[in-house]
Amino acid sequence: MASLSSPLRVCRGILKELRIIQGPGFKQSLAYNYVIDQFRKNKVTGERYCRAQQEAHHASLTYLCLLTSTRNHLALHNLYHGKGERSPEEVAGLVGLRLPTQPGGKGWEK
């Protein structure tokens, strides 16, 4: 199995995403309390099997990936969606292209 990042780094990442979503009062939320309780409950001890700890760590990594991906998706959605009909020049500019121009007098342009 590939090595996983440290549980502390994952916990901090999840709490960072919660802070971004909920604002400065995130420490009073139920989600914050649940995450902290789960990480405290799944600390490494001598009696625990490694498999249960790895499953909890993998679940937390998956949740962190979900939170990060959702935030990135919303940012992209807000950037590219819902501005109505766009001109071809504006659409080409969105993806980093320019429309071709006709070189010198073909007779049909102004």
The pLDDT assigned to 1 comes to 42
Tens-place pLDDT, residues 42-78: 776 555 555 666 788 888 899 999 999 999 999 999 8
* pTM exceeds 0.95: no
Sequence spans of domains, the chain = 7-95
> Does position 41 have pLDDT exceeding 90, yes or no?
no
> d(Cα 50, Cα 47) in Å, to the nearest integer?
9
Is residue 93 a contact partner of residue 40, using CB atoms and an 8 Å limit? no
- Greater pLDDT, 1 or 81: 81
Structure tokens at 50: 């490694």
Mean pLDDT of 80-91: 80
